[in-house]
């Protein structure tokens, strides 16, 4: 006798059968979904991560794709361009107009590459830092270890006729002046008989004499014509402190105690005249004013313990070796030591003497005094600047005399020479970066407002490593560019900036191009 299973039991048996079948199918190797492929490996490098060039080279490698559909270059999250990557290690150029300058010039980049395989897999490279200053062109010496121009140089001419004048000490050990063309080929040279140092100054060609002066503090000076012939010089025993050029091309030279006029045609080192009245020596370079030469010096007058700044007027066309002043103006008395005079500078026409006074807490003020009146008060006092928070080391008129640069160890203010007001953008000084110090200043053309700071470490023998460009005081800093090697700069006759960056010579873009993208 048997009975029919109840309906619930039958259902359980059916389910058990299904479970058994499923386990059998599993045991028989039913296919699983394929594993997800790994993303591609993307690498971006920058062969020259600190670059002043027309474009920036990046190197891309993509591994792990059967084929690459697309590679995009980004600066952080900002898309720059898509590059035609195919395979292996490939170099691509980022043109100057393909980079965004929202963070200024020279721009600090953080570059990455985003690659997509043809099957849709994608990945991003690790970010690579780079500094890029766009320029017009780079000139390199044919010798991989050669340097196109000397450490410091000046540019003359413009366009295809530009050349570069520099002072160097070749293997002979004798200071030599070189002229190099725009291809880096030496066209002229002459041994000068004075050494070249980082402090050597090369003046522009004088429009009257058609000559330039090359001088090294503590060593001497030579006058050189356009054909690189020496026509004038100081004597070998003369201790040169400073040199300024007269309108006719003659030099006003000073040693520790005297001021003399040296003709640009006198190769024997004798002077047309010498003024010896500044017992403690002139306190700044003398200035030609009409038919006279103004010499600033300090003295302590009889029956007084207060030092005075005095300007002596010397007959520019005199011929005595014991010149006496035509007149003297007692400009002002100052609180301080006789042998620690204030920083002074003349205006270009000699009508004004600018004086930087040091106050408590290392603060300074600049005062403009007439050289035609005594006392620097009342009508003789033209203006007094606001208090600046650092001691000042130099005062320098520029931009056709309309501006006066008040230069400290690390900071610069630009004053309106007509009223002494600070003209810096926002009233903020232009500063050297970090611990760097202002080593040199490069001006634009005589009537232009450009101003360049060359900054370097406070180490003996160090050279500038940073340039800060200002296209006008009111607009403020235009760009700053720092290198680990060294740099220098000059401005050609058209106002274009040229820089020596390491061993290479670089022509910057017109400053208006930089200003167009300056945030």
CATH topology of domain 203-335: Lipocalin (2.40.128)
Which of the four pLDDT bands, split at 50, 70 and 90, describes residue 29? low
Every domain of the chain with CATH number 2.40.10.480 lies at: 342-431
Task: Write down the pTM of the prediction.
Answer: 0.89
Every domain of the chain with CATH number 2.40.128.630 lies at: 203-335
Distance CA 86, CA 90 (A): 8
Is-cis flag, bond preceding 106, omega within 30? yes
CA 239 to the chain's CA centroid: 30
Domain 41-135 has CATH 3.40.1710.10: no
Every domain of the chain with CATH number 2.60.40.10 lies at: 41-135
Mean pLDDT of the chain: 92
Q: What is the pLDDT of residue 330?
A: 94
Q: Is the dihedral of CA 10, 15, 20, 21 positive or negative?
A: positive
What is the three-class DSSP state of 422?
A: strand
The encoded tokens of residue 340 equal 């620690």
The encoded tokens of residue 62 equal 């993509």
Pairing mode, if any, of strands 50-53 and 128-139?
parallel
Domain 342-431 has CATH 1.25.10.10: no
180-228: per-residue pLDDT in tens?
998 888 999 999 999 999 899 999 999 999 999 999 999 999 999 999 9
Which of the four pLDDT bands, split at 50, 70 and 90, describes residue 30? low
Q: For residue 260, what is the enclosing H or E element?
A: strand 259-262
435-491: per-residue pLDDT in tens?
999 999 999 999 999 999 999 999 998 999 999 999 999 999 999 999 999 999 999
Distance CA 65, CA 440 (A): 54
User: Minimal CA–CA distance to 308: which of 327, 283, 284, 332?
Assistant: 332
Which of the four pLDDT bands, split at 50, 70 and 90, describes residue 338? confident
């Amino acid at each position: 006798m048997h009975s029919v299973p109840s309906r619930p039991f039958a259902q359980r048996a059916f389910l058990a059968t299904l479970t058994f079948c499923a386990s059998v199918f599993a045991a028989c190797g039913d296919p699983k979904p394929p594993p997800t492929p790994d993303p591609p490996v993307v690498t971006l490098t920058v062969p020259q991560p600190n670059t002043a060039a027309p474009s920036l080279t990046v190197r891309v490698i993509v591994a792990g794709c059967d084929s690459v559909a697309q590679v995009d270059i980004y600066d952080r999250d900002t898309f720059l361009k898509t590059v035609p990557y195919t395979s292996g290690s490939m170099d691509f150029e980022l043109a100057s107009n393909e980079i965004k300058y929202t963070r200024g010039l020279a721009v600090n980049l953080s570059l990455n590459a985003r690659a997509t395989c043809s099957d849709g897999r994608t990945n991003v490279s690790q970010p690579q830092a780079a500094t890029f200053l766009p320029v017009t062109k780079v000139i390199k010496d044919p010798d991989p270890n050669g340097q196109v121009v000397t450490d410091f140089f000046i540019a003359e001419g413009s366009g295809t006729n530009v050349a570069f004048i520099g002072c160097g000490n070749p293997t002979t050990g004798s200071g030599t002046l070189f002229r190099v063309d725009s291809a880096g080929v030496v066209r002229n040279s002459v041994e000068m008989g004075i050494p070249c140092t980082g402090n050597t100054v090369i003046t522009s060609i004088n429009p009257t004499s058609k000559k330039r002066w090359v001088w090294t503090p503590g060593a001497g000076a030579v006058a050189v014509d356009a054909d690189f012939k020496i026509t004038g010089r100081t004597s070998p025993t003369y201790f040169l402190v400073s040199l300024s050029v007269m309108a006719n091309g003659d030099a006003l030279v000073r040693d520790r105690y005297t001021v003399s006029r040296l003709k640009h045609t006198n190769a024997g080192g004798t002077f047309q005249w010498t003024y010896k009245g500044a017992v403690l020596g002139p306190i700044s370079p003398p200035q030609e004013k009409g038919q006279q030469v103004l010499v600033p010096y300090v003295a302590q007058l009889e029956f007084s313990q207060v030092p005075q700044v005095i300007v002596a007027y010397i007959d520019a066309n005199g011929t005595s070796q014991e010149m006496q002043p035509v007149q003297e103006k007692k400009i002002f008395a100052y609180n301080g030591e006789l042998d620690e005079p204030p920083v002074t500078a003349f205006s270009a026409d000699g009508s004004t003497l600018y004086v930087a006074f040091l106050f408590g807490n290392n603060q300074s003020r600049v005062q403009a005094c007439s050289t035609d009146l005594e006392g620097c008060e009342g009508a003789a006092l033209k203006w007094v600047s606001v208090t600046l928070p650092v001691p000042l080391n130099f005062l320098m008129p520029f931009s056709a005399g309309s501006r006066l640069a008040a230069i400290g160890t690390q900071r610069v203010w630009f004053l309106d020479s007509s009223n002494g007001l600070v003209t810096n953008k926002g009233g903020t000084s232009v500063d050297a970066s970090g611990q760097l110090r202002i080593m040199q200043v490069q001006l634009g053309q005589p009537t232009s407002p450009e101003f360049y700071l060359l900054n370097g470490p406070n180490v003996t023998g160090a050279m500038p490593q940073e340039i800060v460009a200002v296209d006008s005081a009111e607009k403020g800093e235009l760009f700053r560019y720092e290198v680990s090697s060294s740099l220098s700069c000059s401005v050609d006759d058209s106002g274009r900036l040229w820089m020596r960056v390491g061993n290479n010579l670089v022509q910057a873009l017109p400053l208006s191009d930089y200003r167009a993208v300056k945030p």
